[in-house]
Structure 1
Amino acid sequence: MRQSMIDRRSFLLCSGAAFALGACGNGVGGRGSATIDARVDETRNYLFSRYPGTRDLASKAYGVLYMPLVTEAGFGIGGAFGRGALRINDVTVDYYSAAKASIGLQIGAQQYAHALFFMTQDALSDFRRSPGWAAGADLKYATPEQGASIGKETTEIDPVIALVFGQAGLIAGATLSGTKYTRIIP
Structure 2
Amino acid sequence: MNKRSFLLYGASLAAAAGLNTACSTTRGASGSPSAQRHEIDAAVESSLARLFKENASARELVASAKGVLVFPNFVSAGFIVGGASGTGAMRKGGKSSGYFRMTEASVGFLAGAQSQGVFILFMTDAALKSFEASSGWTAGVDGSITMFKVGASASVSTQTAQQPIIGFVLTNGGLMGSLSLSGSRITPLTFN
Q: Please give the TM-score of this superposition, normalised by the length of structure 2.
A: 0.81
1:53 aligns with 2:57: yes
Cα distance per residue 1:105-164 (max 9 Å; x no partner)? 2222211111011010000011111111111162101145689422x7355631100011
| Structure 1 residues 95 and 107: CA distance shift in structure 2, 3 A | same
Task: Map 1:33-72 to 2 at 5 A.
Answer: 33-72=37-76
Partner of 1:118: 122
Among candidates 174, 177, 180, match of residue 185 of structure 2: 180
| Structure 1 residues 148 and 53: CA distance shift in structure 2, 3 A | farther
Identity within the alignment, %: 31
- Over the aligned positions, Cα root-mean-square deviation in angstroms equals 2.6
Task: Map 1:11-22 to 2 at 5 A.
Answer: 11-21=9-19
| Structure 1 residues 25 and 10: CA distance shift in structure 2, 3 A | closer
Number of residues paired by the alignment?
179
Contact 2:25 2:73 in 1 (8 A): no
| Structure 1 residues 103 and 146: CA distance shift in structure 2, 3 A | farther
| Structure 1 residues 21 and 145: CA distance shift in structure 2, 3 A | farther
Mapped partners of 1:54, 1:18: distance in 2: 30
Q: Please give the TM-score of this superposition, normalised by the length of structure 1.
A: 0.83
Mapped partners of 1:147, 1:97: distance in 2: 33
1:129 aligns with 2:133: yes
Mapped partners of 2:144, 2:182: distance in 1: 11
| Structure 1 residues 19 and 142: CA distance shift in structure 2, 3 A | same
Partner of 2:94: 90
What letter is aligned with 2:119? Answer: A
**Gaps in structure 2 of 5+ consecutive residues:** none
